[in-house]
Structure 1
Amino acid sequence: MELEKLKYFTVLAEELNFSRSADLLDIDQPYLSKHIRRLEKDLGFELFDRERRPLQLTPGGKVFFEDASEIIRQVERAKRRAYRASLGEVGKLTIALNSSITNSVLPNVLQAFRSHRPDVELVLCELAPNEQIQQLLDYRIDIGFDFLPNDNHPDLESITILSESLVIALPESHPLVAKSQIPLKALANEPFVLPSPKVVHFYQQIINFCEQVFGHELKVVQQATWMLTVLSLVAGGVGVSLLLKNAQNIQRQGVVYRPIEGKNLKIGIVALWRRDDKSNVLNEFLEVVRDISRRWESKKGRGEFANSG
């Protein structure tokens, strides 16, 4: 059934006058009459009682008018929503997070984007870094925040949004807490608590970096996936850890953070999305991410983020 016929019918049902309805629709009266007859033929019953004056709806016509009016309203709503979606004003975005982004720019990004596009639904999910790429390729998420990948995937785009150095996490009773800065070599014989490189791939870089400085193999006594677990183990005296600088935003009782004296390692954090995703909602979100990241790096450069511990 054509939407045009429904529109002709609803106008005539409201006006109950062929001549006036034709004028409102900017069509000839015979053309309107022909389309109403065709609609009645499609339905199998008459919509109007043409014997009565003024023109009246039949019982079937009254019921059909209610439903036809709702269909037209739904179509108009759909058109408005689709138009707004084409502008990036409405829609849904599924975002995968890791601890580094949640401890740094994420609150600012969410606040700015919700203020800019309040009708876009944001679905947030926590995923380990090794899960994000596969879920992007499976179309289960729209954008992920990961550490700089070892290899560029041909189906994915990325931008570096942050570059962070390492800090040392120590149990508060550790003798090295007395130092304001600690050379990495001072940890050469310490037991370490680290995430597994199989889960958080950039930790292989950290291990290689430490082993170059120490001149021997790193002593990893415990591995953990999530940062809060790592910090709990550090607080319990299981070992020391090396974490990205944003970890200092987590105030874990029993843990003290200290910067590394001398040479450090920088780890890039990127936003990842599918190369073929042309969504305006995604583009709007990426613009906010870029803007917030620039401000964040600028503040870091001015030393506006104090160290904790």
Structure 2
Amino acid sequence: MELRHLRYFVAVAEELSFRKAAQRLNVSRPALSKQVKDLEDEMGVKLLERDTVSVTLTKAGEIFLEDSQQLLHDAEHSIQRAKEAQAGHRGKLRIGSVGVIATDFLPKTLKVFHQKFPGVEVEFVEMMPNDQMHALYKGKIDIGFAYGREVENLPNLSSLCVIHSIFGIALSRQHPLAAKKKITLKELRSETLFCLAGEGRSSHKEAICKIYSAEGTKPTKHRKIEGFDSMVTLIAADQGISFLPHVMDLANQDIAIVPIDANQADLDFHMWAVWDGEAATHHVKHFMQLLEERVQGSTNLPQLESDVVSIRDYQTAI
């Protein structure tokens, strides 16, 4: 039994005429009659009473008509959903979590995406940036985020720079240094320096170490903190300081981010959206297009001379 058998039967049952049903389906009357007879033979059930004048439904035919109409409706609905999924209008988009730093560009992009593609479910997967790259390769997420410049070493992945900022000193607004225009590393000698610790957070510590190393000095006191929220709370309570990008809006946390007075250190901070460009589904491509438009049109991102927002494809073999 095929869908065409159901379509032929439904047409005859609704028209109660083989001639009208054949015209409706644009098939010959003998071919239509044969298809309906084949359906009855396959089922072992008589669906229609026929004579030279009229066609009527049997009791079995009445029941089968209702079910056939529903089956055809469901089939058309399934076909439409499949077409929408192929076009990127249905499905699921899995994004690696990025935390507070994405509060500017990500929610607004998601809002526009949902308006354009309401049939696509967006799921955020909690994991560290390092884990997100592995998850991308394994197909567990569709879009991930990475910090620093290490995206240049990620083979077979495409990337978009979503944030280009510079590191500053994060400290309590009540701290004596908070009012300064710039802070040197020497002025931080008596401060407790917080570094994010734990699996997947090594990039924060590495960035801080590079800044100190470039200036030929080392922090005198440092402390590892497991979570970002915990670190922010401790900084706001004037228990220590840390290095965070200026793009982070922590004013409501009673934290100031003051520029660093450093001549040699590379203070650039980059965050990248990363995805598998070759295997990307239509809704991934649609989302990344919206994200790129959002980033390029944002007025909240710092306009640095070296700020280049573009898509890069890294095709290096694994």
Q: TM-score range by the shorter chain?
A: 0.7 to 0.9
Distance 2:48 2:251 in 1: 72
One-letter amino acid of the structure 1 residue matched with residue 288 of structure 2: L
- Bigger mean CA deviation after superposition, 194-203 or 127-136: 194-203
Matched, 1:289 2:291: yes
SS where residue 269 of structure 2 aligns?
Answer: strand
2:66 is matched with 66
One-letter amino acid of the structure 2 residue matched with residue 35 of structure 1: Q
TM-superposed deviation, 1:166: 1.0
In the alignment, is the contact (CA less than 8 A) between 2:12 and 2:21 conserved in 1?
yes
1:233 is matched with 234
TM-superposed deviation, 1:52: 9.5
Residues 196-233 of structure 1 show CA distances to partners (whole Å, capped at 9, x for unaligned) of 2742232212222223325235632232232x221111
Distance 1:81 1:287 in 2: 23
Matches within 5 A, 1:117-196: 117-148=117-148, 150=150, 152-196=153-197
2:214 is matched with 212
TM-superposed deviation, 1:132: 0.9
Distance 2:222 2:299 in 1: 32
Aligned length: 300
Distance 2:19 2:156 in 1: 59
Aligned CA RMSD, in angstroms, stands at 2.4
TM-superposed deviation, 1:297: 6.1
Structure 2 segments unaligned to the other structure (5+ residues): 305-318
TM-superposed deviation, 1:272: 1.2
- Bigger mean CA deviation after superposition, 43-52 or 89-98: 43-52
TM-superposed deviation, 1:298: 7.4
SS where residue 63 of structure 2 aligns?
Answer: helix
Residues 232-255 of structure 1 show CA distances to partners (whole Å, capped at 9, x for unaligned) of 1112333101112232245113x3
Assess, with a 3 A threshold, how the Cα gap between structure 1 residues 110 and 294 changes in structure 2: closer, same or farther.
same
Residues 74-107 of structure 1 show CA distances to partners (whole Å, capped at 9, x for unaligned) of 1211222222333323332111121254233112
Assess, with a 3 A threshold, how the Cα gap between structure 1 residues 205 and 64 changes in structure 2: closer, same or farther.
same
Distance 1:218 1:99 in 2: 29
One-letter amino acid of the structure 1 residue matched with residue 5 of structure 2: K
One-letter amino acid of the structure 2 residue matched with residue 284 of structure 1: H
Matched, 1:200 2:201: yes
In the alignment, is the contact (CA less than 8 A) between 1:162 and 1:268 conserved in 2?
yes
1:279 is aligned, of 246, 261, 281, to 281
1:12 is matched with 12
1:305 is matched with none
In the alignment, is the contact (CA less than 8 A) between 2:170 and 2:258 conserved in 1?
yes
1:269 is matched with 271
Distance 1:137 1:84 in 2: 26
- Bigger mean CA deviation after superposition, 262-271 or 70-79: 262-271
In the alignment, is the contact (CA less than 8 A) between 1:13 and 1:57 conserved in 2?
yes
Assess, with a 3 A threshold, how the Cα gap between structure 1 residues 262 and 215 changes in structure 2: closer, same or farther.
closer
Distance 1:113 1:59 in 2: 50
SS where residue 202 of structure 2 aligns?
Answer: coil
In the alignment, is the contact (CA less than 8 A) between 1:147 and 1:268 conserved in 2?
yes
What's the % identity of the aligned pairs?
Answer: 28
| TM-score (normalizing by structure 2) | 0.85
TM-superposed deviation, 1:175: 2.0
In the alignment, is the contact (CA less than 8 A) between 2:164 and 2:301 conserved in 1?
no
Distance 2:230 2:251 in 1: 12
Distance 1:114 1:144 in 2: 19
